[in-house]
């Protein structure tokens, strides 16, 4: 019979991989209270330093899935496909993508989360809409998928409950940045939701969780392999997150921009990523459709409105507006804007009230940042690059401090070269 201390020592000293039986015992004993939080935390630290083999990771993820419910979407007439983003600044793609792909004939069970730190949360954004609710029962979710085709909702407490306990430990023990632990956390929930196929948007760059492209590709490959091992067709796009995506960063302001994109007025960068992910999702779902035509015809916008209504929201209601606005970050000279740092903008939006430092913190739905200029735009000396929005003007000072670094913006004499936002396609 295994014991927690022996398993910690095996992984700490990298003696040999843990067996499937040992990992199964560990999760069962942890759920029963026979393995203490401090012992699991010690094991997580050992994994942080020594990793998990592919066999260990498959078993680890399987136990996380088995710790709770697994949704059954097989009764749906439509093929199911989901998307997950590792998080960025101004990343409102899910708001556009779920109804867009659903309008092409897929069922999109988008179980999403809330923002933490400088990255926004899809549920926080949608809760800007009067009446909209994130919490759906499994039956409500499946019914909505069968009628509308798309749902963006909170993951139920029954899906991979072991992940919540492990993530809470990782959050307070400095073990979040472990590729196998990140991969198992994301994929256990996505596999448990019952989707047949999954496309991952793995962000890389200054505003992403993974700053280095090589690490982002490694994470993408790890998650694609886990999906395949658990019977979910999985593909990952590694996309740039050095500059905010689109022009709005916040909650209500991002919903507004997403609706404009569904009306055919999306910014080039936002639509480049959205269309790339949409094409990948439709390909995995076996659907031959043109996402551009779905937006041009108004089908995607109609599906968005139906998706909001089925979750109690009013898609025609005015979105809340911030009481105070201030233009900031003035160009030091005339020229082409070649850099606008995503991390600095994300931190500023967070300090304005759009984000939270802890999961239990409240947020402001109206706070945020608008990018008045983006890299590739010509700006004149003294021109404001950003506009702050907040309910409390006292927040402007701390948000402005987030922009103090000398390389937050760069002005050049030539326009920046056009670079693709999709850097790698893993599993295609």
Contact 166, 185 (CB under 8 A): yes
Give a yes or no: residue 75 inside a domain. no
335 and 295 housed in the same domain: no
Q: How far apart are CA 219 and CA 184, in angstroms?
A: 10
pTM: 0.94
378 and 278 housed in the same domain: no
Contact 322, 399 (CB under 8 A): no
Contact 180, 139 (CB under 8 A): no
201 and 344 housed in the same domain: no
232 and 90 housed in the same domain: yes
Write the CB contacts of 164 (distance below 8 Å, at least 6 apart in sequence): none
Q: Residue 88's domain is classified under what CATH number?
A: 3.40.1030.10
40-62 mean pLDDT = 96
Task: Give the pLDDT band (50/70/90) at residue 254.
Answer: very high
337 and 261 housed in the same domain: no
Backbone angle region of 15, left / alpha / beta, with phi > 0 → left and psi within -120 to 50 → alpha: alpha
Give a yes or no: residue 20 inside a domain. yes
306 and 349 housed in the same domain: no
Contact 102, 79 (CB under 8 A): no
Q: How far apart are CA 217 and CA 40, in angstroms?
A: 28
Tokens at residue 419, please? Answer: 């670079």
Contact 202, 238 (CB under 8 A): yes
Give a yes or no: residue 426 inside a domain. no
Q: How far apart are CA 81 and CA 280, in angstroms?
A: 10
Give a yes or no: residue 366 inside a domain. yes
Residues annotated catalytic, as ranges: 84, 163, 170, 185, 189
Give a yes or no: residue 74 inside a domain. no
Contact 233, 80 (CB under 8 A): no
Q: Which residue has the higher pLDDT, 362 or 157?
A: 362
14 and 44 housed in the same domain: yes
Tokens at residue 348, please? Answer: 């500023």
Least confident of 113-117, 163-167, 273-277, 375-379: 113-117
pLDDT digits 0-9 by tens, 79-136:
999 999 998 999 999 999 999 999 999 999 998 877 766 777 899 999 999 999 999 9
Write the CB contacts of 402 (distance below 8 Å, at least 6 apart in sequence): 344, 345, 347, 348, 351
Q: pLDDT value at position 171?
A: 82
Task: Give the pLDDT band (50/70/90) at residue 355.
Answer: confident
Q: pLDDT value at position 116?
A: 65
Q: Which residue has the higher pLDDT, 155 or 37?
A: 37
135 and 96 housed in the same domain: yes
**Single residue among 284, 310, 336 that ends a domain in this structure:** 310
Q: How far apart are CA 236 and CA 251, in angstroms?
A: 26
The size of the chain, in residues, is 428
Q: Which domain does 22 fall in, by range?
A: 4-50
Q: Percent of the chain scored above 70 by pLDDT? A: 98
Phi and psi (nearest 5°) for 80? -100, 140
pLDDT digits 0-9 by tens, 200-221:
999 999 998 889 999 999 999 9
147 and 178 housed in the same domain: yes
Q: How many domains does the chain have?
A: 3
Nearest C-alpha neighbor of 272 from the set 313, 308, 243, 298:
243
Task: Give the pLDDT band (50/70/90) at residue 164.
Answer: confident
Mean pLDDT computed over every residue of the chain? 94
Q: pLDDT value at position 119?
A: 74
Sign, CA torsion 25/183/282/152: positive
pLDDT digits 0-9 by tens, 334-347:
999 999 999 999 99
Q: Residue 408's domain is classified under what CATH number?
A: 3.90.1170.30
255 and 384 housed in the same domain: no
Give a yes or no: residue 417 inside a domain. no
306 and 329 housed in the same domain: no
144-160 mean pLDDT = 90
287 and 330 housed in the same domain: no
């Amino acid at each position: 019979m295994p014991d927690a201390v022996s398993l910690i020592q095996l992984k700490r000293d990298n003696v040999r991989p843990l067996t499937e039986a040992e990992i199964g015992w560990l999760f069962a004993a942890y759920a029963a209270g026979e393995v203490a939080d401090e012992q699991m935390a010690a094991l997580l630290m050992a994994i942080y330093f020594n990793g998990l083999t592919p066999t260990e990771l498959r078993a680890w993820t399987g136990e996380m899935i088995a710790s709770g419910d697994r949704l059954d979407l097989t009764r749906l007439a439509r093929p199911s496909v989901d998307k997950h983003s590792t998080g960025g600044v101004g990343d409102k793609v899910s708001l556009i993508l779920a109804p867009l792909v659903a309008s092409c004939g897929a069922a999109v069970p988008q179980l999403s989360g809330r923002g933490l730190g400088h990255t926004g949360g899809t549920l926080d954004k949608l809760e800007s809409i009067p009446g909209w609710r994130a919490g759906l029962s499994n039956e409500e979710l499946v019914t909505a998928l069968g009628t509308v085709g798309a749902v963006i909702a909170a993951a139920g407490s029954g899906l991979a409950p072991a992940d919540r306990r492990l993530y809470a430990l990782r959050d307070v023990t400095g073990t979040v940045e472990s590729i196998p632990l990140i991969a198992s956390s994301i994929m256990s929930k996505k596999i448990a939701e019952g989707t047949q196929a999954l496309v991952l948007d793995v962000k890389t760059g200054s505003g992403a969780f993974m700053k280095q492209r090589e690490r982002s590709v490694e994470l993408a490959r790890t998650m694609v392999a886990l999906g395949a091992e658990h019977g979910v067709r999985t593909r990952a796009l590694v996309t740039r997150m050095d500059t905010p995506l689109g022009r709005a960063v916040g909650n209500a302001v991002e919903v507004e921009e997403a609706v404009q994109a569904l009306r055919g007025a999306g910014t080039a960068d936002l639509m480049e990523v959205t269309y790339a992910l949409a094409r990948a999702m439709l390909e995995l779902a076996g659907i031959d459709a043109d996402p551009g035509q779905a937006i041009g015809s108004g089908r995607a916008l109609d599906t968005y409105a139906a998706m909001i209504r089925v979750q109690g929201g009013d898609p025609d209601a005015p979105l809340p507006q911030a009481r105070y606005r201030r233009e900031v970050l003035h160009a030091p000279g005339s020229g082409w804007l070649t850099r606008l740092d995503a991390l600095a903008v994300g931190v500023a939006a967070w300090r304005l009230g759009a984000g939270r430092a802890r999961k239990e913190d409240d947020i402001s739905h109206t706070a945020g940042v608008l990018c008045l200029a983006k890299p590739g735009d010509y700006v004149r000396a003294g021109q404001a690059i950003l506009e702050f929005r907040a309910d409390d003007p006292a927040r402007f000072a701390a948000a402005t401090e987030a922009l103090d670094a000398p390389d937050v913006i760069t002005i050049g004499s030539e326009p920046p070269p056009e670079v693709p936002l999709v850097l790698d396609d893993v599993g295609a």
